[in-house]
Structure 1
Amino acid sequence: MILTRRSALVVGAGGLLAGCDAVGNSAIGRRVLRAGEDAHFALQRGLTDRTALAREFRPDQMSPVFRSNGTRNPDTVGYNAHAARDFADWRIRVDGLVARPLALSITDLRAMPARTQITRHDCVEGWSAIGQWTGPRLQPILGFAGLLPAARYIVFHCADRLGGRPYYESIDLVDAFHPQTILAWMLNGQPIGVPHGAPVRLRVERQLGYKHAKYVERIEAVASLDAVFGGKGGYWEDVADYEWYAGI
């Protein structure tokens, strides 16, 4: 077996999340895991070019089925009403620490210059799939909104709820500005369906699957993650101590 750096990181992260419950449930264990995350973050950022691309694949290498996971339908009154109208009234707010707050429709997103990339989605549950994603890059959108100097993180607020909690995720500006970080509205040449995050989801290709927020309805620029929901940067980070930096 040839173990690549990417697959080693995926296996390591999956093992950490799946096999360390006893450690993670103690205060000392959580400090140890967070120290490991900090080391992982520093090591990857120190060894990897910040603009290095995740591997892209040929069309014939795409998975015959790209499975969905997590929330497969937010199934709220508001979301179902949007879906019934084919998301014609959906707006993605871009706000927080920006000079020019935006409210982008799906028509707006589809009119923007788009990037198409065939990449592998690696899930901490132990599966992977290769799919083709299309959508505008996040960096120009943030540029048009005018990030203020205090902005350090980008938070993605989503329409789905898990256990009564709103789903959200966040990345720093390095990943936000990465050329493969896009707001995808197409999967495999078709508009994204509800199970995969319609009408738009984040693709941040150098991160594990739970960072790829679905059903995005708001993009917020913030100086710190401390006051955002549980303060750890994402739903699973808050409720299950997943790593905030899930780089692969």
Structure 2
Amino acid sequence: MDKMLYVAMTGASQNALAQKAHANNLANVSTMGFQRDLEQARSMPVFGESLPSRAYAMTERPATDFDHGPLVETGRDLDVAVDGDGWIAVQAADGSEAYTRTGSLNIDALGVLRTGSGLAVLGNGGPIAIPPEEKVEIGQDGTISIRSLGESPAVMAEVDRIKMVKPDLASLTKGTDGLIRTRDGQPAAADATVKVVSGFQEGSNVNAVDEMTSIMALSRQFELQVKMMTAAKENDESMARVLQM
């Protein structure tokens, strides 16, 4: 009975964790550039001092879905979306290099180009600084051009170029902060083939219907696990009454 109860208990616990993963995906269905998390469950043997004769359920996040989200037109000059495969390099909160497909950019009071979440966008030599300007244009190759204050509309000066990378997806992992990093922690090399489109943002790649269906299926599995625990309890009580006779 204890084996049945243990398997059911771990199954119910891991079902709850899996529901959290899908609920997080569903909560980010409208988050620009969000990459949904995948989850799976498997049976794991219990290792200890004796032979691993028992097993338990384990939910894990094996990977991230790197499929592209839909392009949403905004018409804003500083909104950019990666066209096809590739990533925009940013400076994470800890100073390391990370990657995102979220391209809602802004220029702060010091002239530093930042994402909507406040992360500095990286260029050829580090964070990109924009001089005082009247207009900013971002080309398909990530080149940033400005029209300086007082200059005629025909005079555009190139300031920097956004660093864009396209490493092998198998070498990438998603952190708890939602940013993408290389598994070995080393910066990826810039790739000139990556293109961006100005005036667009990439939407989330989460399918709300799929996530709701998964949550409902996991909820039913949780109920079955609880019923198994109840059955184990009833069987144990019945066996105890037999032994008392």
Classify the TM-score, shorter chain: under 0.3
User: Structure 2 length as normaliser, TM-score?
Assistant: 0.22
**Larger Cα Rg: Structure 1 or Structure 2?**
2
Higher helix share: 1
Higher relative contact order, chain-length normalized (CA < 8 Å, sep 6+):
2
